[in-house]
Amino acid sequence: MAFAEGLAKGEDGVIRCSWAGEDELYRAYHDREWGRPIRDDRTLFELLTLEAFQSGLSWLTILRKRDSFREAFSGFAIEEIARYRPTDIDRLLGDTGIVRNRAKILATINNAQRYEALADEFGGLGGFVWSYEPPDDARPAKVTWKALMAVSATPASTALSKDLKRRGWAFVGPTTAYSFMQSAGLVNDHITGCPQRESCERARRAFKRPTRKREPPL
């Protein structure tokens, strides 16, 4: 049986987006997490942080280190990360379980420190990022592999990136922002024909979106 480009049947007999491959961790992430809407600030901050660390690496590399990242960064408790001192930076740079990139470590601490002002102004990270969810008519009616490969950023991810940078956040470029939007369910980029596409659509329809106190700037 032939499948649309970008789909493949795994050894377990399940049809998936082909990027999930045969690694059990990657397949579980594809089936249970990727594209499902998230509203919790800590989880959103974790995703945004890991997407920044992923730059230049494979997402599977990050997934394999995710538990170590969580342990190293205090379970991604934002307020605790914001209080990190130079000794914490030294500890993180010596942690072989994570990606030891000084600039990205410093960016994570910086972003945690910037979180409070954003939360005070807009009610939380969830309300802020979900205000950048693109409207249905800005999304393709049929998500194909070719269409996905042609897009590394969108007007919505570019706007989200620009607003975060304006607020002093770091390592949040348009491509990182788009990968974050895919991961957090702001968009559903499962290939048409992947069973998880409809599952994610159901989750998105039932999802109660967090509200933002103010509208994003034009």
Considering 19, 33, 59, 121, which one is annotated as catalytic?
59
User: Active-site residue 29, yes or no?
Assistant: yes
Burial call 152-173: b when 16+ CB within 10 Å, e when fewer: ebbebbbbbbbbbeebebbbbb
84 has catalytic annotation? no
Q: Which of 29, 33, 121, 145 is catalytic?
A: 29
Contact between 115 and 125 (Cβ < 8 Å): yes
Using CB atoms within 10 Å of the CB of residue 199, give its burial: 0 to 12 exposed, 13 to 18 middle, 19+ buried: middle
Q: Of 49, 163, 44, 64, which Cα lies nearest the Cα of 105?
A: 49
Distance in angstroms (rounded) separating the CA atoms of residues 101 and 61: 14
Confirm whether 51 is a catalytic residue.
yes
- Active-site pick, 26, 34, 46, 51: 51
**Catalytic (active-site) positions:** 29, 51, 59
